[in-house]
Amino acid sequence: MTTGEMGERPREVLRRVFGYDSFRGEQEAIIDHVVEGGDALVLMPTGGGKSLCYQIPALVRDGVGVVISPLIALMQDQVDALRAVGVRAGFLNSTQDSQQRTEVEKAFVSGHLDLLYLAPERLRVESTIRLLERGNIALFAIDEAHCVSQWGHDFRPDYLLLSSLHERWPTVPRIALTATATKATHAEITSRLNLGNAQHFVASFDRPNIQYRIVTKDSPNQQLIKLLRTEHPGDAGIVYCLSRASVEKTAAFLVGNAIPAVPYHAGLDARTRANNQSRFLREDGLIVVATIAFGMGIDKPDVRFVAHLDLPKSVEGYYQETGRAGRDGLPSTAWLAYGLQDVVQQRRMIDTSEGDAAHRRRLSQHLDAMLALCETVDCRRVQLLDYFGQSSAPCGNCDSCIRPPEKWDGTVAAQKLLSTVSRLQRERGQKFGAGQIIDILLGKRSDKVVQHRHDALTVFGIGTELKEPDWRSVVRQLLAQGVLAVEGDYGTLVLTPTSGEVLGKSRQVMLRREPERGPRSSSASRTSRPTGAAGAIAPSDLNPTAAAAFDRLRAWRAVTAKEQGVPAYVVFHDAALRQIATAAPSTLAQLAKIQGVGETKLARYGQGVIDTLAENA
């Protein structure tokens, strides 16, 4: 039976093609709605199974599913993954020569494709429109639909073209999908894509397998090395940095410490970027150090950690980036190192950004929400989900839940710090950054303090009850709460309208005190976290026999993937290999019962799996 044969039910396609027995969450309701010809807007977390929501309707409905995908660099891998399960998929983009494009166009017009991937800019080309008019379109899928939001974290102007799809093809169902959207972004997607009459499906944004942790910066490169060596040795992961220079330095630092890593940013030439991305997708255990230019559309399922060495600009961006970890449902880490300088730098960038006052105000609101997530004394996951309008209970799987921080009354400390800022400006007409303010509070006669005779101020030495790191935490949290502000290129501290409320004793200031952090057990952190969907098994849960079989299967998969020129996960995900290693099937019939083993994979790889399991048995 070929894919796309009319009369086959979605659940039958799920089992036969993709190898799964049941749908997750609202997948089935979404698929049924689109199969029946309805429009849909789907908000579902990364790793939640969004792609099946358009792939299966495209296989069930008559015609070809046209998928609008934002990154041409990843289309080949997306198509390879579909072909590996027997789906007739193709793409059209600028990386192809004329003969390759002609072959795909013929397959589309003749109905010999199930899915056709296009970049949104292709819709600017009249020949693309004429091609689509010659074919039979089953549906339009608009992936990464948040790119249509002009005030979102990943706006793509070409996405504005997609509103015309419904005008040209009013009877073709559309499904727009995104893994991140606040209520405002959700409304903007609806408006800009003319999806007011679509059915909206909003899944939980919770990713229970991801452990969220935010630490205070203290030699961030060394903190990163400790994370990698103690918790993620040999794991694939992504490290995000704010600037191209820091990307290069961090990648070189990791390589210098015998940790395989490659850089990725817009300043690299296209060939280097493509090569580094390809290596990350195809090699086990490689780390990519990148700016936020990297990651959208990345379908690598076994990314075990995402680390941020700089403060993200928004909660939406942070959620999207951390969501690239643990797509296979296995335990993964989202780790962020964050300090006072991050806050100062982000505030400065907003103040000097292009755009009107309303634009800067929106950027400030995004940053304020990110700072609130960093400084909360409550569950990180509760705060994160609340940002997307979803309520939840404390998760037990974030740093605030595992080692709860203390909340302390920092009103007096805040008054001392604000008084110092105020006296400098009022009595001396001077403004300084956090370092000078803290030296004055601690009574340190540094060269700069003596030079400016700040040791003669009445506030000199009034803050010796706290240490320097504590005062830096106070400054950071006052900035986060809007009780203090920064201005100018040098990040000088200035008062805000709220400062007067604190100085006038009409506002209490509650602050977060970081708990003492002892050594963290990697094995404890992994075994305490939940297993993923479909019975995925965490590495520590494999018995010695299964662990040995898993290693042999990974080695076989690596050779097979290299021979076929595809990423290893296209052959089988780690989660599937763990189930195979545990179940130890000895026949193809037994192997067919494993989740993720469909008909095509069984025929293509089944005997290799059985033979590999039989080795040393």
63 and 135 Cβ atoms separated by less than 8 Å: yes
User: What pLDDT, on the 0 to 100 scale, is given for residue 19?
Assistant: 93
- The structural domain count of the chain equals 4
Residues 45 and 147 in one domain: yes
Residues 182 and 322 in one domain: no
Distance in angstroms (rounded) separating the CA atoms of residues 388 and 207: 13
Distance in angstroms (rounded) separating the CA atoms of residues 108 and 100: 13
Distance in angstroms (rounded) separating the CA atoms of residues 197 and 38: 9
Tokens 């060495």 identify what position? 309
Domain span at residue 128 reads 10-202
| 291: in domain | yes
Residues 259 and 389 in one domain: yes
* CATH code at position 572: 1.10.150.80
Distance in angstroms (rounded) separating the CA atoms of residues 32 and 38: 9
Q: Give the torsion sign (CA, 461, 466, 469, 474).
A: negative
Residues 485 and 589 in one domain: no
Last residue in a domain, options 170, 202, 234: 202
Q: Helix or strand or coil: residue 494?
A: strand
* CATH code at position 305: 3.40.50.300
Within a 10 A sphere around the Cβ of 274, how many other Cβ atoms? 14
| 530: in domain | no
| 253: in domain | yes
User: What pLDDT, on the 0 to 100 scale, is given for residue 362?
Assistant: 86
Q: Give the list of residues 6+ apart from residue 492 with CB closer than 8 angstroms, or none.
A: 431, 432, 433, 486
Radius of gyration of the chain from its Cα atoms, rounded to whole angstroms: 27
Distance in angstroms (rounded) separating the CA atoms of residues 495 and 202: 42
Mean pLDDT of successive 10-residue stretches along the chain, which has 617 residues? 60 94 93 96 88 96 94 82 94 89 95 94 90 96 87 75 89 92 87 92 92 94 96 95 95 97 94 91 92 80 95 92 91 94 86 82 89 91 92 94 92 96 89 94 95 94 94 92 84 91 92 64 37 41 89 93 90 92 95 94 96 85
Residues 52 and 193 in one domain: yes
Distance of CA 78 to the CA centre of its chain: 18
Q: Give the list of residues 6+ apart from residue 38 with CB closer than 8 angstroms, or none.
A: 173, 198, 199
| 111: in domain | yes
| 249: in domain | yes
* CATH code at position 451: 1.10.10.10
User: What pLDDT, on the 0 to 100 scale, is given for residue 524?
Assistant: 34
Nearest to 80 by CA among 288, 299, 283: 299
| 414: in domain | yes
Distance in angstroms (rounded) separating the CA atoms of residues 326 and 298: 12
**Which element (helix H / strand E) includes 178?**
strand 174-178
Distance in angstroms (rounded) separating the CA atoms of residues 216 and 343: 12
User: What pLDDT, on the 0 to 100 scale, is given for residue 45?
Assistant: 87
Residues 602 and 474 in one domain: no
Residues 176 and 51 in one domain: yes
pLDDT tens readout for residues 207-252: 999 999 999 998 999 999 999 999 999 999 999 999 999 999 999 9
Residues 487 and 414 in one domain: yes
pLDDT tens readout for residues 573-584: 888 999 999 999
502 and 415 Cβ atoms separated by less than 8 Å: yes
